[in-house]
Amino acid sequence: MLKYTISTLFSFCFLFAFSQSKSIDLNPKDTIARTDPYGIRVGIDLSRPLQSFLKDEYQGFEIVGDYRISSKLFLATELGNEDNTKQEDLYNFTTSGSYIKLGVDYNTYDNWYGMHNAIYVGGRYAFSSFSQTLNNYQIFDTDRYWTTPEYQNNPTEIPANGFAPGSTTPQKFSNLNASWLEAVVGIKAELFANIYLGASVRIGFLVSNKEADNFSNLWIPGFNKVTDGSNFGVGFNYSISYFLPLYKKAKKFKAIEKEKEVPEN
């Protein structure tokens, strides 16, 4: 029994001496390994169906999506189709076609762990293929030279603006296309688990614009109105999307360091 007690005491002394020889770090710097989800986010633009409901002359639909490739960077795309009829002073026309936008978004917002919101900037290259139909037009005549002879016997049929009709037979111009670069600023907020509400503003710059010989492209699907003498256009969207997580990547978050106060003697 005495032999067993002596052996036990000797073991405790050895362990105590070993533990005292190891230095003690008063400011430990621990790291905690955590994971971030990576996957595909797909949704629709809410503004286009709303305009389709409110305006008889407009029909549009857009699918939005992005794919996370790093903690801050996302591949992004938009696919859409629009059909829009516009009434100008002297003519009425309809533009119909589809577009695709490809680019990247960079998230500038630092989320807390478990949050996946975004305040982002990005860029797109966009291409649209469409057709335009000139539904009708009137002749611009400042002195009404063409109006008076035609309507002198029927003055009640003179149009309200005083210009004579040029044609009411629709003329269709097909195989039109345009491309542009687009700068994007937007936000995405997670409302519920994997459900995001987003909004963005876009400024586009036309790179190419294939037009008909006798009728300009006045409105381009995905780009919106084309202004005379300017290659710039403005657009926006409001989206709701669903995030489908495919895998997770580890991300290290540095733990908060706490200095230990050493009591004064």
pLDDT in tens, 48-86: 999 999 999 999 999 999 999 998 999 999 999 999 999
Residue 34, pLDDT above cutoff 90: no
Residue 6, pLDDT above cutoff 50: no
Strand partners, 82: 60, 97
The rounded distance, in Å, linking the Cα atoms of 186 and 149 is 57
pLDDT at residue number 257: 44
What pTM did the predictor assign?
Answer: 0.75
Percent of the chain with pLDDT over 70: 71
Least confident piece of the model among 86-90, 146-150, 228-232: 146-150
pLDDT in tens, 143-165: 555 554 555 555 555 555 555 56
Q: How confident is the model at residue 221 (pLDDT cuts 50, 70, 90)?
A: very high
Closest by Cα among 186, 204, 181, 220 to 66: 186
pLDDT at residue number 190: 95
Read off the amino acid at residue 108. T
The pLDDT mean for the chain works out to 82
Please report, for residues 93, 180, 212, the alpha-carbon distance to residue 206 in angstroms, rounded to integers and kept in the order given.
21, 4, 17
Residue 256, pLDDT above cutoff 50: no
DSSP track, 128-176: EEEEEEEEEEE---TT-TTHHHHHSS-GGGS-TTSPPEEE-S-EEEEEE
| Residue the block writes with tokens 């995405």 | 188
pLDDT at residue number 137: 73
